[in-house]
Structure 1
Amino acid sequence: MSSLLKTMARYEMTASWAVWPPATSYTRASDIYFPAAGLDEVLHARSIVLGLNPGKSKGERKPWQNFHTGPQHNDHFLAEAFRDTEHWGAYMTDLLTEVNSKSNTLDLSMHIIQRDVAVLAEQFQALGAADPLVIVIGRKTAEAFAEHESYLTDALDLPKVRWVTVPHYSAANSRVHGNDPAKYRSLVMDALKGA
């Protein structure tokens, strides 16, 4: 087992890594389970992918399953976006801990976000992430992250957190990515150019 997998094991039910089974491209039909073996040279904390909150999954949640649940959540879009990039192997987690597939019903009150940003800071510290690029997924995540970024900079003793927003990959955002993983990849690559 990878040393980073061991280090981060306490978060395995809500977080994951930007690693999927090898493929030349990822589509709705791709098998995108988390391949837990042989990852010592792959996993890293140079970049961290940050969603808003874990979505509900069908059946029992498995370790490192977040962002690897299949076509119902468009997770193959993320696999395609990070395929063959320096962000392959990045840690993936969420800003909020609430498991909920309806983002418009999330509790975004100040004390909830502050509590969850504290959990996020703990994850960064456990990773040993000195100055990672945080890849923030979607507008709602970016707004909440921006409001509480100072807590994270204080907790990590950084003058500033390096972060960039990429579009959300959900089907609800198809007006942006056209429900096309290749187009989504292009949008993500464009957003990451200046990071």
Structure 2
Amino acid sequence: MTSLLETMARYEMTASWAVWPPSASYDRMSDISFPFGDLDGVLHARSVILGLNPGESSVQRRPWQNFHTSPRHNDHFLAEAFRDTLHWGAYMTDLLTEVNSKSNTLDLNATTIHRDVAVLVDQFQALGAADPLVIVIGTTATKAFKEHETVLAAALDLTSVRWVEVPHYSAANGRVHGNDPRKYRRLVLNALRDAGR
């Protein structure tokens, strides 16, 4: 049987999975690299975590590295948020393909988003995600996602997509999460609970 890593290999430079090296908790000093090894039974398509776009990285990208970079990107917040939850092992990707750490300069015109939603649809179909919960990170990603949700629903042969918005984990959103991964975890878990997820 083909593993999900093999199935999704064509997206390994832009996507990843909500799995990090084992830890009781995650902070700036934690190892947040992608834990290559036996992930059969861990990776799944029950939920998909969706960011806006890949951020720029000061290191050369390696397979499945997106969402597993340095503390400068606060990726350890995601590890802490999804630690010991049903969403550990979920597929992680972005709505847009543009690599850019400055969200206010992203190309958000309808043509670009429509093109990138087609890429997202391809990922969901390859993943075999029948009716996943989409966990959308941040208000900008949520706004763009809501405008194109019907395209994704139609491609998955669904009436609507199950989704929930969680706050963004970036340092720029510190006023919300206080730059504290434990507080960010509480915010994410509360959003999931309030949505019945």
TM-score (norm 2): 0.97
**In structure 2, what residue type is equivalent to 1:83?**
R
1:76-131 Cα deviation digits (max 9, x unpaired): 00000000000000000000000000000000000100000000010000000000
Alignment match, 2:33: 33
Tell me how far apart the structure 2 counterparts of residues 77 and 149 of structure 1 sit (CA, whole Å): 26
What does residue 119 of structure 2 align with? 119
* Deviation, structure 1 residue 60: 1.1
- Cross-structure match for 1:14: 14
User: What is the CA RMSD across the aligned residues, in angstroms?
Assistant: 1.0
Provide the identity percentage: 75
Counterpart residue type for residue 181 of structure 2: P
Aligned to 2:80: 80
Q: Return the offset for 1:59.
A: 2.3
Whole-angstrom distance in 2 between the partners of 1:128 and 1:172: 34
* Other-structure match for 1:97: 97
Match of 2:42 in 1: 42
Counterpart secondary structure, 2:13: coil
> Residue in 1 aligned with 2:107?
107
Corresponding letter in the other structure for 1:152: L
State the aligned residue count.
Answer: 195
Corresponding position: 1:170 with 2:173: no
One-letter amino acid of the structure 2 residue matched with residue 180 of structure 1: D
Which amino acid in 1 is paired with 2:89? Answer: G
Greater mean deviation of Cα atoms: 154-163 or 167-176: 154-163
Between the aligned partners of 1:134 and 1:49, the Cα distance in structure 2 is: 6
Aligned mates of 1:87, 1:177 — CA distance in 2 = 20
Deviation at 1:154, TM superposition (A): 1.2
* Cα distance in 2, alignment partners of residues 100 and 12 from structure 1: 18
Give the whole-Å Cα distance in 2 for the aligned partners of 1:59 and 1:36: 18
How far apart in 2 are the matches of 1:139 and 1:39?
31
Q: Distance in 2 between matches of 1:155 and 1:45?
A: 16
1:55 maps to which residue?
55
State how far apart, in whole Å, the 2-side matches of 1:103 and 1:36 are.
30
Q: Is the 8 A contact 1:31 1:70 kept in 2?
A: no
CA-CA distance at 1:155 after TM superposition: 1.2
Distance 2:155 2:132 in 1: 14
- Give the C-alpha shift of residue 69 in structure 1: 0.2
Gaps of 5+ in 1: none
Letter in 1 for 2:175: R
In the TM superposition, 1:135-146 aligns within 5 A as 135-146=135-146
Q: Please state whether the residue corresponding to 1:46 is helix, strand or coil.
A: strand
- Structure 1 segments, 4+ long, off by >3 Å, are none
